[in-house]
Amino acid sequence: MSQQTLHPAPVAAVPRRSGLVLAIILTCQLMLVLDATVMNVALPRIQSDLGFSATGLSWVMTAYSLVFGGLLLLGGRAGDLFGRRRMFVAGIAVFTLASLAGGLAGSAALLIAARALQGVGAAMAGPSTLALITTTFTEPKARVRALALFSAMSSGGFAIGLIVGGLLTEWFSWRAALFINVPFGLAIAVLAPRFVAEPERRRAHLDLPGAITGTLGVGALVFAFTHAASDGWGNPVTLGSLAAGLALLAGFVVLEARTALPLVPLRLFAERNRSAAYVNFFLAPMAMMSMFFFLTQFMQDIRHFAALATGFAFLPMAALIFTMSRLVPRLLPRYGPKPLALTGSVLMVAGVGWLALLTTDSTYLPALLGPLLLMGLGGGLAFAPLNVIIMATVPPEDAGAAGGVLQTMQQVGSTLGLAVLVTVFGSATRSAAAAGTTGPQLVVDGMTSAFSTAAVIAAGTVLVALTFRRATASARP
């Protein structure tokens, strides 16, 4: 195939329509991120209605994020090959149909299958969101503002998902948390072809061997950790899945190094700040997912919050994330990424560490509100610069791949993080039960062990943030 562009097209939308284009893209991104947590608040009711086991319940979350993260790289390359707007619209269509099927699911197996299909649609649309922003907003200041808003949707969407899930579950049913995607998805699918410009397509191929080994490798690792939560690390299935996952990921690295047009171009990691940003986009969601998954259950099962109250309990965190994301475009050119990411990471460590002190008698104020405020402030500072660092200077021909790698780090990090922390929870509860602990205290012991592990993971983001280069006049976005 020729290296020349296949279908020349304008790379920027009509200026007066750029606001509408951004609204379409951000709405899509909010839907995709929101669905990673919107079911959290509804988990107790889903378990009751469909008969999930305690450890199997995590697959309601994992099925979506695993497939989403595993196929994102392939989705990014497919956007380069077939057209980013086309993949964006097709992905939203698949995501919308899967949401409808999930809302109608009558069994645990059907719900998990629908959630996995949602992940397929999200992986098709997700990488194109960032790529379309970088090709639509070519003026540097406008691009930084758009990327900061994208970051707000990406990080704040987790907390918004809990609020929306609480509202819909309390007022209607857990099924409404899936049905709500249908009208928004249809609107995006209708409006995007009309208003979003199709960027130039460039030489690419799908790299199916890389996609298969990468996806199966991550899937095997997640399955190993989830299986260990219920059956222990000595189980042959657990050990076999772990070994297979590591071998497949090693094969993925070898394939990518030898492929002419890989899913993950190694040149994306040549710049130090960008490499560090990718690593933190992996570690931070690993730590944060423990808060969303376990804290919602703590509020409902231990403190007996209603679903609606549980959702609104996360409102201060969401508000802080959005506030900080609006401030970052002003702060980043002045101070550079290092002080912002470092401060945010330290605040996140403090927030998750505070949750490790929970007891069965802990109340919302201050035991829950304090950590949520620290996580909101820290997440807003730590995440917003990362999107800008990665996407603001990436060449247009690598925009799809860079966006795919970024979102892959986020989704795979949250998926592996949840699997690891569910394993820690399972091991801690078994040990506590053997020591004679019962009732709510048994559950809280498992949760605090998971939060302690998450704090250690979050501490890794501090170490990575220390490696950012200090900004110079030429290096600032």
Domain count, the chain: 2
114 shares its domain with 233: no
- 7 in a structural domain: no
pLDDT (average), residues 445-465? 94
pTM here is 0.78
Ramachandran region of residue 215, left (φ > 0), alpha (ψ -120 to 50) or beta? alpha
- Beta-carbon-side half-sphere exposure of residue 60 (alpha carbons within 13 Å): 32
Give the residue-averaged pLDDT of 117-139.
Answer: 85
pLDDT band, very low/low/confident/very high, at 452 (cuts 50, 70, 90): very high
Q: Does a structural domain hold residue 9?
A: no
> DSSP alpha helices (H): ranges in 105-139?
108-136
Give the pLDDT mean for 3-30.
65
- Is the same domain home to 276 and 251? no
352-381: per-residue pLDDT in tens? 999 999 999 999 988 999 999 999 899 888
Q: Do 155 and 83 belong to one domain?
A: yes
Q: Give me the residue label for tokens 């790529």.
A: 131
Alpha helices in 5-139 (DSSP H): 18-34, 43-50, 59-82, 84-104, 108-136
Report the share of the chain in percent with pLDDT over 70: 91
pLDDT reading at 476 higher than 70 = no
Domain region containing 315: 17-207+261-465
Domain membership of residue 415 (yes or no) is: yes
Asked whether residue 226 falls in the same domain as residue 325, the answer is no
Tell me whether residue 11 is in a domain: no
Q: Which long-range contacts (CB under 8 A, 24 or more apart) does 273-278 make?
A: 273/337, 273/389, 273/468, 273/469, 273/475, 274/389, 274/390, 274/393, 274/394, 276/464, 276/465, 276/467, 276/468, 277/337, 277/385, 277/386, 277/389, 277/390, 278/390, 278/405, 278/406, 278/409
Interval 89-104: pLDDT, tens? 999 999 999 999 999 9
User: Quick check: 8 pLDDT over 50?
Assistant: no
User: Could you tell me if 29 and 72 are in contact, meaning their C-beta atoms sit under 8 angstroms apart?
Assistant: no
Judge if 123 and 241 occupy the same domain. no
Residue 159 lies in a domain: yes
Would residue 231 count as lying in a domain?
yes
Q: List the CATH number of the domain containing 202.
A: 1.20.1250.20
Within this chain, do residues 147 and 295 fall inside the same structural domain, yes or no?
A: yes
Residue 387 is predicted with a pLDDT of: 75
Which pLDDT score is estimated for 55? 64
Pairwise CA distance, residues 276 & 270, whole Å: 11
Least trusted range by pLDDT, from 108-117, 259-268, 314-323: 259-268
108-136 and 43-50 are packed helices; what angle lies between their axes, rounded to 10 degrees? 140
**Res. 157: pLDDT tops 80:** no
CB contact at 8 A, 208 and 22: no
